[in-house]
């Protein structure tokens, strides 16, 4: 949708100065989809990006479409800052989702599917194209492995319409009794345990739903199958909660998970060719509008592409990357002779940048060594999302069993991870860990770990403050930052933070840490105003902000004021951005770019020029209203000059990217950056990998020279 023209007398809150949040998110997912279409991306990685795009879109429909329908159902008509009301937004979102899902199917059918078959002999075959020998093999697989798990469900006065689980793929059948001439509807859920049926010798596969459809007559013997059509449902995940009135937060979250399972259906996807009477029957039974029906060509479910991409040949994936161990944590190149991590941190702040640098050898090691160290008396940590087989959880359990004081805030309201987090909380509690579940009305998104250690006659604190989750799995694909520090003032702040999180201490004071919702908004505003004052006085003022999303209208208006005053502003925003750059009088000094590549850009870096005395923060918060007002977030001012220099270089690489970066135009269009005719190609993430390799070579050369 083309943005409105900006009136000459527009004020900073005029709707024409804001992009729509939901449509901006869809723009981001188009950039992800581009990775699946980009010839420069290895073929199997393109397939993986196709699966990522579909998964992103499914979650978007669950949350945003469900949320808009809930708002409309409540009678809300108030427009968003861009001037669109809920009904207009829902119409535009439906159109955008439909267009994107159709494009996904085209990329698969017209590009990736034939390329995989031709170049890698990885063929996803249609059942109708199989020869007799292959069909017989598939028949045996159906009889042995698929038929026993299928449950055909009839619909008639004695059999109510069945429950359809969220994102489940199903076969809708219209049956006829050959003698009575009566017609009946039936549903068969497609099993998820077996996504593909592999053919002998060739290694080719057939989608399991095609196999079930072909042999469906074995499920309904004595009946004539008139039609058998695939469909998939998406349920609302935007379930309202009121923590203020909850007597038991865990019970409330458990009930919410159950409610989400049975929440209203917000989307019905069907394949072309489904008879109209079957479509209408499903729409009625699911209580949907016609606009909630999406006809999708090709595969209705693409998550199985992860399996194909993972099992394909290495040469058609990204070059394997072994994260580097920071040189300060290596002694003489021997891992068994590694230095004491606490001594390293005492010697100076240590920044780690994942996945370029190892999570397991830094952050995970920090917690594991703390758990094993007899001098450590306490460990406190926030957990938002963690790995399925978390060694950090195991270390915390060992620490508690060893008699250390261990306190963990487990955020049980982390969307789609509630059940896992409640399970981890139970494991920790059984080991004697003091577990809390967050603050009423606030989601704890901060990434903080605190270790308290007895050293002689004194108590010393060690902290990790980061931008990403304590998750060894996502640390391999998410680009995140963290700083390990023994600075006493940070330790005191972390102690106060955990007192706030686990007890009743809302008015804690902080020397260094910037904590939301207490003071983050005010701190950002003060820094923006400082840059304005520098520029107005003829001094140097500039801002470089790297984050995941920007949607807060007050922050956007503050940025407009800074731009109007002459402050040069670079925003590196991976995802949603409501700010409209390049508008004379408002944002002509603001440049917005987004980087989408091999790794998910997840770190947050905030650089304030401050007339040549830069102030730099890293932390967990984006400039979204939820982060500023409704979450506990922590940002850390970076005092170490070496780390500030590294961060400045990181930002410089990101701003020079002309391979994977997209620039946001005033029209709302994202344009892929390209090098000038006389310029060399610069890929930010590749450059970061090279920088880490260079540091690794220096360490290896130093070790070789000394031996």
Q: Report yes or no: 512 and 630 within 8 Å, Cβ to Cβ.
A: no
Could you give the residue numbers annotated as active site?
445
Residue 207 β-bridge partners: 196
Indicate the helix (H) or strand (E) that contains 154: strand 153-155
Nearest C-alpha neighbor of 466 from the set 672, 658, 605, 610: 605
Residue 111: exposure state from Cβ atoms within 10 A (0-12, 13-18, ≥19): middle
Cis-peptide into 144, omega within 30 deg: no
Calpha distance 201→198 (Å, rounded): 9
C-alpha distances in Å from residue 685, one per residue of 356, 360, 363, 590, 605: 9, 21, 21, 23, 16
Spatial distance between the Cα atoms of 376 and 362, rounded to a whole number of angstroms:
17
Cα–Cα distance between 580 and 590 in angstroms, integer?
Answer: 9
Count Cβ atoms below 10 Å from residue 458 Cβ, excluding itself: 7
Q: Are the CB atoms for 173 and 188 separated by under 8 Å?
A: yes
| Long-range contacts (CB closer than 8 Å, 24 or more residues apart) made by 307-315 | 307/195, 307/196, 308/44, 308/47, 308/116, 308/122, 308/124, 308/196, 308/205, 309/44, 309/45, 309/47, 309/48, 309/51, 312/44, 312/47, 312/120, 312/122, 313/44, 313/120
Distance (Å, whole) CA 682 – CA 675 = 8
* 3-state percent helix, strand, coil for the chain, nearest multiple of 5: 40, 20, 35
Token pair 């579940």 is at which residue? 437
Strands 631-637 and 443-444, by their bridges, are parallel
Residue 4 CB neighbour total at 10 angstroms: 15
Q: Could you give the residue ranges of the DSSP H alpha helices within 38-112?
A: 43-60, 66-73, 86-106
Neighbours of 522 (CB within 10 A): 11
Residue 75 CB burial class (10 angstroms; 0-12, 13-18, ≥19): exposed
């Amino acid at each position: 949708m083309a943005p409105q023209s900006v009136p000459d007398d527009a004020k900073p809150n005029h709707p024409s100065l804001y992009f729509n949040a939901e449509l901006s998110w869809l723009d981001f997912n188009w950039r992800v989809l581009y990775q699946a279409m980009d010839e420069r991306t290895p073929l199997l990685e393109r397939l993986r990006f196709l699966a990522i795009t579909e998964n992103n879109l499914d979650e978007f429909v669950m949350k945003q479409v469900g949320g808009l329908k809930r708002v409309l159902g409540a009678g809300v008509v108030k427009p968003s800052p861009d001037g669109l009301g809920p009904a207009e937004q829902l119409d535009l979102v439906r159109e955008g989702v439909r267009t994107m899902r159709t494009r996904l199917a085209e990329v698969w059918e017209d590009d990736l599917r034939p390329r995989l078959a031709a170049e890698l002999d990885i063929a996803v075959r249609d059942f109708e194209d199989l020869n007799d020998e292959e069909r017989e093999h598939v028949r045996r697989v159906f009889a042995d492995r698929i038929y026993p798990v299928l449950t055909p469900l009839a619909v008639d006065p004695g059999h109510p319409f069945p429950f359809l689980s969220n994102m489940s793929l199903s076969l809708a059948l219209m049956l006829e009794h050959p003698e009575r001439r009566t017609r009946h509807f039936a549903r068969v859920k497609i099993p998820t345990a077996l996504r593909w049926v592999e053919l002998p010798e060739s290694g080719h596969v057939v989608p399991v739903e095609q196999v079930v459809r072909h042999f469906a007559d074995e499920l309904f013997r004595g009946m004539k199958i008139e039609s058998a059509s695939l469909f998939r449902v998406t349920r609302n995940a935007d379930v309202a909660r009121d923590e203020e009135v909850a007597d038991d937060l865990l019970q409330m979250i458990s009930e919410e998970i159950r409610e989400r399972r049975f929440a209203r259906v917000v989307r019905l996807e069907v394949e072309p060719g489904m008879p109209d009477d079957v479509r209408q029957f499903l729409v009625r039974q699911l209580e949907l509008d016609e606009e909630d029906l999406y006809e999708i060509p090709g595969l209705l479910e693409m998550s199985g592409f992860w399996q194909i991409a993972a099992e394909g040949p290495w040469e058609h994936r990204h070059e394997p990357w072994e994260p580097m161990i920071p040189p300060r944590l290596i002694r003489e190149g021997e891992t068994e002779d590694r230095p004491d991590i606490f001594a390293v941190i005492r010697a100076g702040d240590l920044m780690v940048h994942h996945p370029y640098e190892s999570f397991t050898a830094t952050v995970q090691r920090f917690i594991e060594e703390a758990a094993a160290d007899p001098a450590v008396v306490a460990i406190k940590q926030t957990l938002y999302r963690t790995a399925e087989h978390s060694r950090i959880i195991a270390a915390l359990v060992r620490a508690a069993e060893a008699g250390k004081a261990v306190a963990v805030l487990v955020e049980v309201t982390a969307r789609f991870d509630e059940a896992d987090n409640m399970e981890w909380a139970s494991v920790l509690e059984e080991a004697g860990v003091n577990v809390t579940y967050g603050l009423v009305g606030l989601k704890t998104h901060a990434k903080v770990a605190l270790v308290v250690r007895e050293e002689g006659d004194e108590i010393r604190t060690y902290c990790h403050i980061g931008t990403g989750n304590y998750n060894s799995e996502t640390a391999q694909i998410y680009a995140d930052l963290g700083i390990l520090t023994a600075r006493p003032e940070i330790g005191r702040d972390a102690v106060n933070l955990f007192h706030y999180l686990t007890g009743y201490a809302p008015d804690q004071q902080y020397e260094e840490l910037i904590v939301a919702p207490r003071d983050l908004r005010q701190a950002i505003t003060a820094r923006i105003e400082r840059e304005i004052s520098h520029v107005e006085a003829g001094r140097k003022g500039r801002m470089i902000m790297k984050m995941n999303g920007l949607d807060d209208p007050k922050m956007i208006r503050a940025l407009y004021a800074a731009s109007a005053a002459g402050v040069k502003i670079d925003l590196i925003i991976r995802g949603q951005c409501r700010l409209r750059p390049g508008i004379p009088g408002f944002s002509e000094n603001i440049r917005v770019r987004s980087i989408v590549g091999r790794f998910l850009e997840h770190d947050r870096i905030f650089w304030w020029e401050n007339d040549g005395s830069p102030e730099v923060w890293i932390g967990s918060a984006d400039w979204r209203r939820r982060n500023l007002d409704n979450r506990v977030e922590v940002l850390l001012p970076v005092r170490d000059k070496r780390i500030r220099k590294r961060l400045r270089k990181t930002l410089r690489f990101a701003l020079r990217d002309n391979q994977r970066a997209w620039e946001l135009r005033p029209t709302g269009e994202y344009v892929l950056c390209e090098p000038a005719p006389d310029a060399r190609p610069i890929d930010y993430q590749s450059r970061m990998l090279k920088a880490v390799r260079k540091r690794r070579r220096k360490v290896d050369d130093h070790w070789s020279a000394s031996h």
